[in-house]
Chain A
């Protein structure tokens, strides 16, 4: 199923072919994985910025401003924008492009919308693969906009070099700010809609949260922004650049690179092992037989699961 010459076309930056490959990866067409493997050695050149935050905090508008600035600097920009799939219909309305329309016909900007398709963590399962294709196409910067998240959707941190977390004023008292989760992953915290009441208070709360951390914790910058008026966006790009330079200059960059690779490997092993185990379970009538035995208390579910796994290990 490998499309003839598509790897070469993607490396040459052919948009139609690259977009189709992304589609095949999102749809989990097996042949597409072979192409992805061939692209991998040609990647690693792109700098990846993650933008995450609550629904309605202004992520898309911030991404729009980032695109504008990176384009001004002459960089090629890829954007992966993720919105949730409906848990009921499986469908989705992907509307992040609306705020990025001024870049629609700029051939140095490639925007791809993805639906989560049931994947948790704030990204779609295919996000990393789509980034790989954009990287191989030669994009200098790739911006990943997660779904509007709550407190625990932190996958973006293992995907991006720099994680930007967007918050808005008035989300609650300071106790919200010391909770674990989303705020911990930030390299840069943006208090957007800072022309609203309470922005300074939010900045103060966030600073306090950062001060409470152990000595030697990473540097986190806090910025105020009014993205809809492009306020604070120059400062945001500067903060991203600063963070990038820190990654380059210290062993931190290599450490994070290894961390990302390890997370990715473990994720894939987990996914593939699960798929194969379930396929094995559902082939033949083994599943219904096992299920019946568990229900009849002839075997306990742990032993049954171990049996399935033992069979899987014997059949790579």
Chain B
């Protein structure tokens, strides 16, 4: 019996901005890389994201934030995940995050941030290096 794990990733857009092109491009690239991507669409509250992450038993949560509310939304999602009993889930982010905020978020437990200019290959390389070992381990 084959026991090769398939990596599952939740891609979500928390908050109020309506620009999901970036999230869709990333979702598509991740699916093309062989991952299963659960895409939940726009205007997700942190608790909606956490509930989906739990029910879908994902390995990784990707958040796309363009609204400037990243300093609020990332911690809110982390807190919601903790509340639903999955505090150890890796989180990555994409969107517009100023350099000075980046350090604070990474310090606060966000695992990676990919800002404009990042290629999807970089994201996939990061997943292979940082998430794959945990999933198969």
Q: Which residues of A contact B (CB under 8 A)?
A: 15-16, 19-20, 22-23, 26-30, 85-86, 89-95, 97-98, 101, 104-105, 110-113, 115, 117, 275
A91-B34, A98-B39, A98-B40 known, 20 other contacts, Cβ within 8 Å: A28-B2, A30-B3, A86-B31, A86-B32, A89-B33, A89-B34, A90-B6, A91-B33, A92-B36, A93-B31, A94-B37, A95-B38, A95-B39, A98-B41, A101-B41, A101-B48, A104-B44, A105-B48, A111-B52, A275-B1
A29 to B4, alpha carbons, bound, how many Å? 8
CB of B36, distance to nearest CB on chain A (Å): 5
The answer to whether residues A90 and B45 also contact, given A15-B54, A16-B54, A105-B51 and a CB cut-off of 8 A, is: no
The answer to whether residues A92 and B57 also contact, given A16-B85, A28-B2, A97-B52 and a CB cut-off of 8 A, is: no
A93 to B62, alpha carbons, bound, how many Å? 14
The answer to whether residues A105 and B45 also contact, given A91-B34, A92-B37 and a CB cut-off of 8 A, is: yes
Contact B55 A110 (CB under 8 A): yes
- Chain B's closest residue to A91 (CB) is B31
Please, which residues of chain B bring their CB within 8 A of the CB of A26?
A: 6
Contact B55 A94 (CB under 8 A): no
Residue of A19, A20, A117, A275 ringed by the most chain B CB atoms within 10 A: A19
- List 20 A-B pairs, Cβ < 8 Å: A15-B54, A15-B85, A16-B54, A16-B86, A22-B57, A23-B57, A27-B4, A27-B6, A28-B2, A28-B3, A86-B31, A90-B6, A94-B36, A97-B39, A97-B40, A101-B40, A101-B48, A111-B52, A112-B56, A115-B36
Within residues 46 to 93 of chain B, which ones have a CB less than 8 A from any CB in chain A? 47-48, 51-52, 54-57, 84-86
Residue of A22, A91, A104, A111 ringed by the most chain B CB atoms within 10 A: A91
CB of A20, distance to nearest CB on chain B (Å): 5
CB of A97, distance to nearest CB on chain B (Å): 5
Please, which residues of chain A bring their CB within 8 A of the CB of B97?
A: none
- Assess whether B113 is interfacial by the CB under 8 Å rule: no
- Assess whether B102 is interfacial by the CB under 8 Å rule: no
- Chain B's closest residue to A113 (CB) is B38
CB of A209, distance to nearest CB on chain B (Å): 37
Contact B31 A105 (CB under 8 A): no
- Assess whether B5 is interfacial by the CB under 8 Å rule: yes
